[in-house]
Amino acid sequence: MSIPRPEHPKMQFYRPDWVNLNGEWSYEFDFGKSGIERGLQNSTGFAGKITVPFCPESPLSGVGHTDFIESMFYQRALEIPAAWNGRRILLHFGAVDYTAVIYLDGVEVGRHSGGSISFTIDLTRHVEAGKSYNLVVHVLDDQRSFVQPFGKQCPQFQSCGCSYTRVTGIWQTVWLEAAGIQGLKKCRIVPEFDQGAFGFLPEYFEERPGNTLTVRILAEGREVAVETVPASAWGPFSVTVPEPRAWSPEDPFLYTIVFEVKNASGELLDRVESYGGLRKIHVEGDRLFLNNKPLFLRMVLDQGYYPDGVWTAPSDEALVRDIELSMAAGFNSARLHQKVFEERFHYHADRMGYLTWGESACWGLGWTRSQWYTQDRYTGVFNFLREWRETVERDANHPSIIAWTPLNETERPVDLDFYRGVMTEVYDLTRQVDPTRPVNDTSGYQHVKTDLWTVHLYRKDAAELKEALTPAGGGVWHTSPDHEVPYAGQPYLNDEFGGFMYIPPERAKFAANTWGYHGLDLKSPEELCAKIAEQVDYMLTVPNLSGYCYTQLTDVEQEQNGLYNYDRTAKVPEGMLKAIFGKSPEWAK
């Protein structure tokens, strides 16, 4: 049987010695949460079969169980290649929702909480090359606790409103990798656009006196720069690139970057391949600048849901196709919404020149919205801050990501002082981990400390949009004037609008509760495009507007307000959308 999603998950940090663990695993649901008492961590095989990396709720998993799953177990054999003797053995999980406890032969070897982000278990001291082990993963996912972020996963049994099918357990690729014992653990790559250089901040598994790190930078296969430095714990350094070539949407040029760790005798200990794009994103007054040129963002909202895989794309080609569909519609960028997208998506965005905003799956946290309020708000804050830090650290090297949006629509917080304190910490943490990108503290509502002023203005026509977007007294729209901080001149963006529902005549409603914004019953592609065009054309005339984000790229289950159907087929004849979304204001051309 062929391996699903066989491609390497992490092209930003590639070693050739790796084994993809996707495919058939055995599983058992643990609805009574008694599995540990019953010794399921020792199992050598369950009766159920599931296809990893697809969640059990998805058709592609072969299971299709869509009710709540608060506990379940996975199992498979794990063989360590004999050729990996003397190497560091790493077990990687692209993502597991929500808590994963990892067992080898019944012994716990690691655990991780955070349903959206990747993690690694170092197996070196637990395994020997050439031997086989029994791998069991215990998953815990208490979504209705409202202390763990779940994004657009529905907290009710049936999908409704803006919430869709749930995701439990393993939903991204699992793989095994061999690294050097004293090898490179990770390395931050910072484009220093104005200096024509890349900055590096490496971290190692172990250090030894005399070890060195050599960085080789290649352009189209030709080495253009090389630097060797001591492999030490605190060793930030820069490497200048001769005749630097910028990364941009028009020319998404990527330099190949090769890291080599050697010992004092010159023996190669570890080798990692990566890449980088030389670009700069910054704010000047109320404008965004890319590579020191003013930037107008024509964004689309992308939620990353798939009919057959839910949060998991059925194939690598499906990730590429979503970017192609967006660009074909005239967009230059996307808000990746209420989901931490897998690294393969960012890799394709990097090489295709597709700008994105990185976001968390923050919905579900009781401290952010009154309808999910829980007294245990401190656990929710802790869980969010930990996972968000891991997200920014993992994805900071991708040149296509140009802004961070930690939270979305943090509406009606119960304790305003508490909320403001947490939001200030969220902003400061994000800027501390990555000072190179602007931070949109919360998309649309309740701004506290932010580099971008974003609003959500769903209006049924251009006249209503104008009234809200450009208030008669001047200034910008405030969702909650009594709760938000004053506007301080940041770039102004309408980062959610539209949402018009049009269902082609050959299509049926997804469900009885299918909906779109405004309650309009549009009958043709021409009606849909006319409604959108009047709002887009108006926004291009607003002098202080730095961009917009249309809701949304595709239908998602009962929310049938996408520009494409849920299966990615067209609703509108080719070219009609690009004629609307492909335009920028004169100042940004």
DSSP secondary structure string, 278-339? ---EEEETTEEEETTEEE-EEEEEE---BTTTBTS-SSHHHHHHHHHHHHHTT-SEEEE-SS
Confidence class for position 235, pLDDT limits 50, 70, 90: confident
75 membership: H or E segment, kind and range: strand 71-79
Enumerate long-range contacts of 581-585, CB under 8 Å, 24 or more apart: 581/298, 581/300, 581/329, 581/330, 581/331, 581/536, 581/550, 582/298, 582/330, 583/298, 583/330, 583/536, 583/537, 583/540, 584/296, 584/298, 584/540, 585/296, 585/540, 585/541
- Architecture of the domain spanning 296-588: Alpha-Beta Barrel (3.20)
Tokens representing 173 are: 């690729």
Q: What is the pLDDT of residue 519?
A: 87
Joined together, the tokens standing for residue 568 give 């990615």
Q: Token pair for residue 15?
A: 């070693």
Instruction: Give one DSSP letter per residue of 518-552, joined into a string.
Output: TT----SHHHHHHHHHHHHHHHTT-TTEEEEEEE-
CB contact at 8 A, 52 and 6:
no
Average pLDDT value for the chain: 96
* DSSP secondary structure letter of residue 566: T
Q: Which two tokens stand for residue 13?
A: 């940090």
Percent of the chain with pLDDT over 70: 100
347, pLDDT greater than 70: yes
- The yes-or-no verdict on residue 507 having pLDDT over 90 is yes
pLDDT of residue 412: 73
Measure the CA–CA gap between 560 and 552, rounded to whole angstroms: 9
CATH number of 184-276: 2.60.40.10
- The residue with tokens 């965004």 is 288
Nearest alpha-carbon partner for 564 in 386, 336, 307: 307
Q: Is the pLDDT of residue 299 over 80?
A: yes
pLDDT of residue 98: 97
**38's tokens:** 């019953």
Residue 464 contacts residue 516 (beta carbons within 8 Å) = no
What pLDDT, in 10s, does the model give residues 305-334? 999 999 999 999 999 999 999 999 999 999
Task: Quote the distance between the C-alpha of residue 353 and its chain's center.
Answer: 17
Tens digits of residue pLDDT in 205-224: 999 999 999 999 999 999 99
DSSP 8-state assignment for residue 413: -
In whole angstroms, give the CA distance from residue 356 to residue 451: 16
Dihedral-angle region of residue 278 (phi above 0 means left; psi in -120 to 50 means alpha; beta otherwise): beta
Neighbours of 289 (CB within 10 A): 16
Burial class (CB in 10 A: 0-12, 13-18, 19+), 12: buried
pLDDT digits (tens, 9 = 90+) for 527-552: 999 999 999 999 999 999 999 999 99
Percent of the chain with pLDDT over 90: 93
Residue with tokens 């304790």: 415
Say whether pTM exceeds 0.95: yes
CA 458/CA 580 separation, integer angstroms: 18
Q: Tens of pLDDT along 449-483?
A: 999 999 999 999 999 999 999 999 889 999 888 88
Q: SS3 helix, strand, coil % of the chain, rounded to 5? A: 20, 35, 50
Closest CA to 501 of 480, 515, 484: 515
| Amino acid (1-letter code) at residue 208 | R
3-class SS of residue 274: strand
Query: Which of 50, 62, 32, 64 is closest to 165 using CA atoms?
Result: 64
Helix or strand or coil: residue 59? helix
Instruction: Quote the tokens at residue 233.
Output: 């714990």
More confident residue, 414 or 356: 356
Which pLDDT value is given to residue 413? 75
| CA dist list (Å): 407 to 93, 129, 216, 418, 447 | 24, 44, 37, 16, 10
Spell out the domain ranges in the chain.
18-179, 184-276, 296-588
Contact 336, 349 (CB under 8 A): no
User: What are the pLDDT digits (tens) for 98-154?
Assistant: 999 999 999 999 999 999 999 999 999 999 999 999 999 999 999 999 999 999 999
pLDDT for 1 equals: 67
Provide the edge-to-edge strand list for the sheet that holds 237-240.
Answer: 184-192, 197-204, 237-240
- How far is residue 304's CA from residue 345's CA, in Å, rounded to a whole number? 10
Which residues in 315-329 are b (16+ Cβ under 10 Å) and which e?
A: bbebbbebbebbbbb
Predicted pLDDT of residue 241: 98
Mean pLDDT of 6-14: 98
Distance (Å, whole) CA 257 – CA 197: 12
Out of 2.60.40.10, 1.10.3720.10, 3.40.50.150, 2.60.120.260, the CATH code matching 18-179 is: 2.60.120.260
Q: Is 416 helix (H, G, I), strand (E, B) or coil?
A: helix
What is the sign, positive or negative, of the torsion defined by CA atoms of 386, 68, 49, 133? positive
Q: Which residues pair with 93 in a beta bridge?
A: 119, 174
